[in-house]
Each structure stands twice: as structure tokens, then as C-alpha cells.
Amino acid sequence: MIKPFAITLKPGTSLSNLTGTWRTERPVYLDRLPPCNNACPAGENIQGWLYHAESGDYEQAWRMLVEENPFPAVMGRVCYHPCEDQCNRGKLDSPVGINSVERFLGDEAIRRGWKFSEPPDSSGKKVLIVGAGPSGLSAAYHLARMGHGVEIQEAGPMAGGMMRFGIPKYRLPRDVLDAEVKRILDLGVRLRLNSRVENISASMQGFDAAFLAVGAHIAKRAFIPAGDAAHVVDAVSLLHSMEGEERPMLGRRVVVYGGGNTAIDVARTARRLGATDAIIVYRRTREKMPAHDFEVEEALQEGVMIKWLSAIRQADEGQLTVEKMVLDDKGMPQPTGEFEKMEADTLVLALGQDVDLTLLEGVPNLEIRNGTVQVSGNMMTGFPGLFAGGDMVMSERSVTVAAGHGKKAARHIDAYLRGAAYEPHSKHELADFGKLNTWYYSDADKTVRPMLDIIRRQTSFDEVQGGLNESNALFEARRCMSCGNCFECDNCYGVCPDNAVIKLGPGKRFKFNYDYCKGCGLCAAECPCGAIKMVPEEI
Amino acid sequence: MGFQPIKFYQTGTYTVGNRLLSPDQRSVQAAESRSNSINSGHRACQGCGEALGARYAIDAAMAESHNRLIAVNATGCLEVFSTPYPESSWQVPWIHSVFGNAPAVATGIAAAMKVKGKTDVRVVAQGGDGGTTDIGFGCLSGMFERNDDVLYICYDNQAYMNTGVQRSSATPPAARTATTMPVGPEPGNPFGQGKNLPEIAMAHGIPYVATATVADLRDLEYKVRRAMRMRGARYIHLFVPCPLGWGTASHDTIRIARLAKESGLFPVFEAEHGEVRSVLKIRRKVRVEEYLMPQKRFAHLFGSHPHPEMVIRIQEIADRNIRKYGLLDEEEAA
Ligand SMILES: Cc1cc2nc3c(=O)[nH]c(=O)nc-3n(C[C@H](O)[C@H](O)[C@H](O)COP(=O)(O)OP(=O)(O)OC[C@H]3O[C@@H](n4cnc5c(N)ncnc54)[C@H](O)[C@@H]3O)c2cc1C
Ligand SMILES: Cc1ncc(C[n+]2csc(CCOP(=O)(O)OP(=O)(O)O)c2C)c(N)n1
Ligand code: SF4
Ligand code: SF4
Ligand code: SF4
Ligand SMILES: [Mg+2]
């Protein structure tokens, strides 16, 4: 058949035109490191577990969380949440309430009786852990989950360390702590209470490795001349005695000397024990105070008073002598020679703690600096097979840091036991705020946690801060912007003018079709969370 | 009531998809089964707003008509880049009219379907702003006036792009085009000229008129689906940035459309029988500079010989739109 002019060709599809050849840059999917994850001292995959919480799958969220940290209910109460300080959402309205969702998950796990998955078959190796504080317990948990035999030797009558004998009940109810400790022990971890290790070299015999986490329990002293009848106690012993049968007698006017979180906890405890006046005396100013702002705020609400720029010079029966201080250019307090008297039934010294290192005597090649044990990047001391972490090594002192050390040590101990070296994943590049396209996130302010009424805060040890309920925990989780990690919003799939994005189905993310992608960069520009990057083509 | 955005669930309806929404709340574009009416391999520029807008709109029309759709296309970029003989990107029954008569061709097809009793087959006509506001205007006005059963979609990229960026009656004041060069005391396209086609369409009293941009997919899909549920003459004016003609980065197409809406320069609304029924409010108001500065076609307003007085006049246009259509929520407007 003779075809008419200009229609001699068979119709075809434009798919034969591979427009991918136009491209000078190609989009690639990547995972960037969310700033929250980067800031978590326990290395939690916060964005990851929030992703599951967002869809209401709390168990999956909890399981992902405990991959890194076995204490969500504790963390959700006492962690200072540096993650929230770094949260990108803080630059938009206010940070995601990571800590409150964490607590919700932890409480939910306790309420529903979720258990850790069964550990694998035994490796036949045995590890000794000294101290059942957060660091020791965390190490025990991770080692048990790797199949190693774990024995914890603990000097005290109960597990928990400073979580039990430091942090007051009104911040961390003991049934919550007990539940999370028990879940770890249920993995088959052996806990020997009332078993102080006097000499690690001797105690280590029969173990393949040891992890030391004895904390810092020796109260620091300042030289304050005190009359015989003066009532002076140290903060750690005082808080420790709160766990006993008898409540300590402090009197009506209690003065606490120091400016850290411990000083705050003591003053708030004194209020609850019936002190009409609980006064913190601190040598510097509020800005210089190491205690966290929110704790200072809560203490002030409860009627705790703070005397700034003051040093205690002398303690006598019922009375203290205090000198006024001024700050020099370096922000250090200097005496003024001006004195005044203060009434006080009890003076509590909250000046920090030192590490008791006596159990290390005779161990070769150890390095002690500033009263702490030096460890290298793998948490091992100079003595092979002896690892250490938590408050007894040089670092910030918090429950979260301690738990993080426990995890890190466990990974290196596991490698050590196999005669290998543990290679951590290389960190992804940071998903900072500039990588986001925040247009796409709904406007939503942070959910505020309920607080106990003020009268009960001054008279009882009931927990001060409440938790979120299901609906507001879900709301809070959904405020997360999933920084740097695809959350399957379909934007890239939608905005490509060239249909060059292939949707792989729920949970499977996406793929580029480089046969047709022209490299316009729209997908990368409109990805809300910065999970696409344009890279130059090699031409 | 207009499009009701879902404001929460992480991104609500701001993103194309959202795994947290129930399936009936999701967009056409999020579905793996979307018709991809205009498929890969077309020859549109990188980041073309018109190619994107056409797929958004026609996929939605396909979904609403259960794939019983015929599309008519006036001459212009969309037709040329999608269908270089003998290939085509279209995966829907599609016919190319000439530059000025797409509305008339569509009217004819609609009439033919009616005669054949195929009233389930729906007709969409589409053209660029030149084809719509200039050469096709007579045919379009007739189609409106007769209330023919056609949805007409104008892809407004504010100039004759296919022939090399000449001015159309939809080109905005001050814009540089090949025929409105940035010379003289008031460089670029003159103020006070041109046509506002959505308002002219409304003046015909037709059942439905709406404006939309490629930056608000959910609003656009809502409008196309709503228009498809009606009979008679319907008109949608879709704002589609053109990286080549406007001198913008190819990755900025959606951002520019968003800024046009957020500045108030392009009011997004819908109207029935000549009356405005709803507007899409401004969410994060910006000044017109933010919209103008990334575009080389407005470069002569800034730089070493700036024209701040012209920028002020453009801001006045935006402010007037905001007042006229009530684009800001009460408290923000105060
Ligand atoms: C009052 C107070 C409040 C605090 N509040 C917070 C807070 O809100 N948030 C926060 O993150 N951090 C807080 N901290 C800090 C936090 O409690 C510690 O950083 C953390 O508990 C350190 O953990 P660890 O495992 O290293 O040591 P510890 O918790 O001190 O545990 C060490 C354990 O080792 C045992 N032990 C010691 N010597 C031996 C031995 N020779 N043999 C056997 N066992 C031994 C001890 O009995 C103890 O159980 C607070 C600290 C105090 C004092
Ligand atoms: C009658 C007629 N005159 C002129 C042309 C040349 N022509 C083809 S496309 C076009 C411009 C189209 O502009 P517009 O309708 O805005 O669509 P765009 O290409 O910008 O999408 C012109 C002038 C033609 N095809 N027919
Ligand atoms: S928005 Fe989410 S992912 Fe981003 S920093 Fe905050 S909690 Fe992490
Ligand atoms: S939007 Fe499409 S064409 Fe543009 S870079 Fe992404 S995949 Fe390629
Ligand atoms: S645009 Fe959305 S779907 Fe695409 S990579 Fe980014 S988060 Fe994932
Ligand atoms: Mg045009």
C-alpha cells in the first residue's frame, strides 16, 4: 500500500528517546545522619524509632530503640536530652519531644510486658562486670544479646547505681527502674549483690574479659572549719540514705552548698522531708551554674531558694558564716571580705564526686589522670581485656553517657573475645537544617507534659513530671521531620516532570530511572528531608 | 468550601503522598497506578513546569473519568515536546488541533460523543497561555458562551515559549521577553496591559473556573476532579513556571510557583457561575522581591541599575490581589 506523504512512519512511543543522555548531574538517594541521632550519647536511632511510632507501631519503635539502649522508661525521665537541643525542628518552632515519646514507649513496654528477643546460642565466653549502675547494666545487656555469659558483681544491696541511690524517686519512680533492670536480668545475666570487688586482678580470674563501671561515689570535700556541734553531711550519702528505712533528719532550715544537679536534687528532697527553708548557696551566678535550667526552674517553683555569689566559710551549730563573692573577668568567683551569718540546722555539701580506684591497685599499665581511669577509643584500659566506662572514666557524667559507654564497651569486648577489632560504621554526612525543605511540614507546636500540682510536689515523693498519652505521643512523634532519611512522602515520585522516579512500594522506597532522568534536580529540591543529593555526572 | 487541607499527620496534604493518610485521602500522583498520561522520553526542558502540570492535571482527569477521556491539544510547547512525529508521550487518546482552535475542536468531539451516546467519554482541551488568551480566545469565548461540555486547561507560562519567548497577553508587567526587551525608562513588558483570563472566564458565568499552581498538587487534583464531576464549560488556569523562558534554575520550578502564590501575585481560587467560592490562603507570606529575584526575566529590576519604583508597583499588584481575594487569614492581614 502506498502511504500518503508524511505518515510513512509507524507511530511510536517517546520511550525510545532516552533523555537521560541530557543529564549533567544525577540525583542519588542517601541516608543522612539526623542531628538528634548524632547528639544521643547512647547512639539511639531516634529518627528510626520515631518513624515506627509515627504509624502507631509502638512495639516496633520500642524494639528499634532498645537495639541501642535498654532503658527507655528511665531515659524518658532522667536523660538531659541533648538530642532535643540539636533537633532541627527547634529551628522551625520547637524541638520534637523526643524524650517524652521515649518515655511513652518505655512505659508502654512495661505496661504490655514486652520482652527482649531471646539471645543467640552461648559463645562460651564469660565476662565480669563490676558495678550494676547504668553503665554496667547496659554492657551486660549488650553482651548477653551477643551470646556471652555475663556476671555482674555489685557492692550494694540492689542494682541501679546512682539511678537508685542518687536520683530521687520524684524524678524516677523505683518500680520503673525495677522493671527495666529485671528485663535485663531475664536475659540470663547473673547479678551478685553485696559483692564488692576489692581487687580486680584477683576477681578477673576465670573470666575472659572484664568491664569496670564503679561510678564516682566519694564525695568531694571543701575545707570548711566546723564546730563540733555543726551538722554537716555530704549529698551522696544523704541521697543514698533516702533508699533506707529511716528518713534522714535534716531540721527545718537546710543549706546545700554547690551548683550542680545534685545540689538541686538535695534541696528538693529537703523540701519534701519537711524543711521550711531549703537554700542553695553557690559561689557563682545562675548563668554559670552547671545545673540544667529546667531543674533550677522546677526547684524554684517548689520554693527552693538560691543564694548566688556566696561561699561558705565556717559552720557552727545552727549557723553558717558566708562570704560574698564577685566574678572576675574569667568568670571565676573571688572573695570580697564581706561576711554574713546564715541560720542552718544542716549543711549539705554537694561539691561533686571522686572515683574510688582502690580496686585497681596492682594492675599494670593503667593510666590514671585527674582521678579517672584512661581508656582508649575502644573503652579498653592499658591492661588487655580490662575495659571501663561510665562515671569512672573521663567524660560527661550522665545516665545516658554511662549507658552509651556500656554499649560501646560491649561491642569492643565482643570483638576482643573473637580476637578481632570492632569496626564502627562510618558516619553518614549530617542532615543539618539547610538540607531540609521545611515547607512541607505541618505547623505543630510541641506537646507539653503534665506536671504534678505544686502542693504535692512540696510534700510527697510522687513523680513530678507526667507522661504523654497515646494520642499526644502519636502527635509528638509525627512532628518529627525525618531529617536525612526518606519517609516515603512520594514527593520525588510526584514532582519529576519526566516520570523518572520508580516507586518500589510501601517500605521499599524509590529508585531513579536514569534512562530518562534529565537531572533537573526538582526531586532533590522538593524532598522535604534531604534524602536526595545531586552529584555531577562523569562526562 | 474549596480544597480542605489536612493539616497534620507530619506533612498533612502538603506532600504528594503520605503513608499516614488513609488510602481514600491520598493523591492520584502518589499511586503507582497513576496513568502517567504524558510519559518519559518527552523533549521538554529540564524541570519543565508545563510537562509536570499536564501530567498532574490529565492524570487526575483520567482518574475521575475512569480513563474515559479524550484530550485535545493546541499548538505550543506541550504539543511539540510531547509529540515529535512519529512518536508521542501521550498515553491517552489525544488529538492535536492547530494553534488557535483547540476549544472548537473539543466542542466538536464532545458533540460527536453525545451523538454516539457515549456520554461517559469526557473531553479535555489544553493549550498554552498564547493559544488561550490570544489566538484561541475567540474560539474559547464561544465555547464558554455555548456552555459546551468541555474542561479547558490553560498552562500559563506567561509567554510564547515554543517559538522563543515572545510576549503574550498573559506576560506580567516588567518581564523581559524577546519582544519586550529591558530597555528604556520602564524596561520590560509595560504595566497595565494584558488579560486576566480567569476573570474573563468568570464573566461568562460558566459553571466552574479555577486557578492552581504546580506547587499545590492536592489543590490542583481537587479542582480537576471537581471540574470533571460537572457538565458544561469549565476552565482551569494552571500556573506553570518555565525555566528556560524565565531564566530560573531547573530545580526551582516548584519553589517559584509557590512564591508566586505566597506573594499574592498569583491568586489561587475557585469560582462557580461567576462567583468566587474559595481561595487558597497564603501560608507564609513573602514580599514580591523573593519571587522576582531568582528570575532572570526580572533581573533589570535589581542589580546595578535597579528599578525599585517598578518593584513597588508589582508589590501593589500583589497587595491588591490579597485584598480582593482575601488571601490572608484575618489576623495576619491586620
Ligand atoms: C543526685 C544525682 C542525680 C543525678 N541525676 C541525673 C539525671 O537526672 N540524669 C542523668 O543522666 N544523670 C544523672 N546523674 C548522673 C548519673 O546518675 C551517673 O552519671 C550515672 O549513674 C553513672 O553510671 P555508672 O554506671 O558509671 O555508675 P553508678 O551509677 O554510680 O554505678 C556504679 C555502681 O557500682 C557499684 N560499685 C562501686 N564500687 C564497686 C566495687 N568495688 N565493687 C562492686 N561494685 C561497686 C556501686 O554500688 C554502683 O551500684 C545524677 C547523679 C547524681 C549523684
Ligand atoms: C497560526 C499559528 N501562528 C503561529 C504559530 C507558531 N507557534 C507555535 S507555538 C507558538 C507559541 C505558543 O505559545 P503558548 O500558547 O503560550 O504555549 P507555550 O509554548 O508557551 O507552552 C507559536 C507562536 C502557529 N503554530 N500557528
Ligand atoms: S526532626 Fe526528627 S529526625 Fe530531625 S532532628 Fe528532630 S527528632 Fe531528629
Ligand atoms: S526530578 Fe526527575 S528528571 Fe529531575 S533530577 Fe529528579 S529524577 Fe531526574
Ligand atoms: S521526596 Fe519523600 S519519598 Fe522522595 S526521597 Fe525524599 S522523603 Fe523519600
Ligand atoms: Mg506560553
How far apart are the CA of B132 and the centre of ligand 5, in A? 35
pLDDT number for residue A95:
94
DSSP state for residue A33 in the 8-state scheme? B
Residue A356: helix, strand or coil by DSSP?
coil
Query: Chain B partners of A519 at a C-beta cutoff of 8 Å?
Result: 46
B65 lines ligand 2 (CB under 6 A): no
Q: Whose CA is nearest to atom 22 of ligand 2?
A: B163
The one-letter amino acid code at A336 reads T
Could you tell me the domains of chain B?
32-333 (3.40.50.970)
**A337 in B contact zone (CB under 8 Å):** no
Contact B16 A491 (CB under 8 A): yes
Please indicate whether residue B3 or residue A130 has the higher confidence score (pLDDT): A130
| Residue B308 clears pLDDT 80, i.e. is over it | yes
pLDDT number for residue B332:
53
User: What digits encode the pLDDT tens for the residues B57-90?
Assistant: 999 999 999 999 999 999 999 999 999 888 999 9
Question: Which of A78, A162, A294, A463 should be mutated for ligand 1, with most atoms under 8 A from CB?
Answer: A162
Q: Which three cell numbers stand for residue B114?
A: 453525545
How far apart are the CA of A483 and the centre of ligand 3, in A? 6
What secondary structure does DSSP assign to B128-141, as a single string?
Answer: EHIIIIIITHHHHH
How far apart are the CA of B257 and the centre of ligand 6, in A? 15
Helix (H) or strand (E) holding B218: helix B217-228
B157 lines ligand 2 (CB under 6 A): yes
Ligand 3: nearest atom to the Cα of A481: 1
Provide the 10 A C-beta neighbour count for residue B51: 27
Rounded-to-integer distance, Cα B34 and Cα B27, Å: 10
Closest residue, chain B, to A439 (C-alpha):
B14
Query: Chain A partners of B8 at a C-beta cutoff of 8 Å?
Result: 442, 444, 475, 478
Rounded-to-integer distance, Cα A337 and Cα B38, Å: 85
pLDDT number for residue A223:
85
CB nearest to B9's CB, from A19, A478, A534: A478
Shortest Cα distance, chain A CAs vs residue B193, angstroms? 32
Nearest to A89 by CA among A464, A444, A536: A444
Q: Whose CA is nearest to atom 8 of ligand 5?
A: A486
Query: Chain A partners of B39 at a C-beta cutoff of 8 Å?
Result: 13-15, 499
DSSP state for residue B21 in the 8-state scheme? S
pLDDT number for residue B125:
98
CB nearest to A14's CB, from B9, B39, B49: B39
CB A35 within 8 A of CB A432: yes
Half-sphere exposure of B293 (CA within 13 A, CB side): 10
Rounded-to-integer distance, Cα A54 and Cα A128, Å: 39
Rounded-to-integer distance, Cα B260 and Cα A182, Å: 60
pLDDT number for residue A7:
67
Query: Chain A partners of B88 at a C-beta cutoff of 8 Å?
Result: 11-14
Task: Please report how the helices B49-64 and B217-228 are oriented relative to each other, as an axis angle in degrees rounded to 10.
Answer: 40
The number of residues making up chain B comes to 334
Residue A534's φ and ψ, nearest 5 degrees, are -95, 125
Instruction: Give me the CATH code for the A222-353 domain, please.
Output: 3.50.50.60
Domain with CATH 1.10.1060.10 in chain A: 37-114+451-477
Query: Chain B partners of A441 at a C-beta cutoff of 8 Å?
Result: 10-11, 14
- List A residues 490-519 in contact with B (Cβ-Cβ < 8 A): 490-491, 493-500, 503, 505-506, 513, 515-516, 518-519
| From the candidate CATH numbers 1.10.275.10, 3.50.50.60, 3.20.20.70, 3.30.2350.10, the one assigned to the domain spanning A126-217+355-417 | 3.50.50.60
Q: Which three cell numbers stand for residue A351?
A: 561539691
Nearest to A517 by CA among A530, A532, A529: A532
Domain with CATH 3.50.50.60 in chain A: 126-217+355-417, 222-353
Rounded-to-integer distance, Cα B46 and Cα A519, Å: 7
Contact B17 A13 (CB under 8 A): no
DSSP state for residue A19 in the 8-state scheme? G
Query: Chain A partners of B86 at a C-beta cutoff of 8 Å?
Result: 7, 9-12
User: What digits encode the pLDDT tens for the residues B122-169?
Assistant: 999 999 999 999 999 999 999 999 999 999 999 999 999 999 999 999
Rounded-to-integer distance, Cα B230 and Cα B109, Å: 17
Contact A520 B55 (CB under 8 A): no
pLDDT number for residue B334:
43
The chain-wide mean pLDDT, for chain B, equals: 96
Domain A37-114+451-477 is classified in which CATH homologous superfamily?
Alpha-helical ferredoxin (1.10.1060.10)
CB B72 within 8 A of CB B125: yes
Q: What is the pLDDT along chain A (539 residues), one digit of tens a residue?
A: 566 666 677 889 999 999 999 999 999 999 999 999 999 999 999 999 999 999 999 999 999 999 999 999 999 999 999 999 999 999 999 999 999 999 999 999 999 999 999 999 999 999 999 999 999 999 999 999 999 999 999 999 999 999 999 999 999 999 999 999 999 999 999 999 999 999 999 999 999 999 999 999 999 988 888 888 889 999 999 999 998 888 888 999 999 999 999 999 999 999 999 999 999 999 999 999 999 999 999 999 999 999 999 999 999 999 999 999 999 999 899 999 999 999 999 999 999 999 999 999 999 999 999 999 999 999 999 999 999 999 999 999 999 999 999 999 999 999 999 999 998 888 999 999 999 999 999 888 777 778 888 888 888 888 999 999 988 899 999 999 999 999 999 999 999 999 999 999 999 999 999 999 999 999 999 999 999 999 999 87
DSSP state for residue B37 in the 8-state scheme? S
How far apart are the CA of A490 and the centre of ligand 4, in A? 13
CB nearest to B15's CB, from A10, A54, A489: A489
What secondary structure does DSSP assign to B242-308, as a single string?
Answer: -HHHHT--GGGHHHHHHHHHHHTSS--EEEETTEEEEE---SS---HHHHHTT-GGGGGGSTTS--H
Nearest to A73 by CA among A113, A103, A98: A103
How far apart are the CA of A391 and the centre of ligand 1, in A? 7
CB B89 within 8 A of CB B131: no
Strand-pair partners of A323: A311, A339
Question: Which of A491, A522, A532, A533 should be mutated for ligand 4, with most atoms under 8 A from CB?
Answer: A522
Q: Which three cell numbers stand for residue A216?
A: 564516682
The one-letter amino acid code at A186 reads D
How far apart are the CA of B246 and the centre of ligand 4, in A? 19
- What's the Cα-to-Cα distance from A24 to each of A18, A127, A535, B84, B252, rounded to whole Å? 14, 56, 9, 24, 17
User: What digits encode the pLDDT tens for the residues B190-239?
Assistant: 999 899 999 999 999 999 999 999 999 999 999 999 999 999 999 999 99
| Residue B331 clears pLDDT 60, i.e. is over it | no
Fold for domain A5-31+486-536? Alpha-Beta Plaits (3.30.70)
Query: Chain A partners of B254 at a C-beta cutoff of 8 Å?
Result: 495, 522, 525-526
Q: From the candidates A19, A93, A439, which should be mutated to test the interface with B, based on the most B CB atoms within 10 A?
A: A439
pTM value is 0.93
A494 lines ligand 5 (CB under 6 A): no
pLDDT number for residue A311:
95
Question: Which of A40, A89, A475 should be mutated for ligand 3, with most atoms under 8 A from CB?
Answer: A89
Rounded-to-integer distance, Cα A354 and Cα A376, Å: 21
- What's the Cα-to-Cα distance from B315 to each of A46, A84, B197, rounded to whole Å? 44, 40, 21
Question: Which of B126, B162, B214 should be mutated for ligand 2, with most atoms under 8 A from CB?
Answer: B162
Residues with CB under 6 A from ligand 4: A 27, 496, 498, 500-501, 512, 517-523
Q: B240 Cβ partners below 8 Å, 6+ apart?
A: B48, B49, B50, B52, B53, B155, B156, B157, B213, B214, B257
CB nearest to B40's CB, from A55, A498, A520: A498
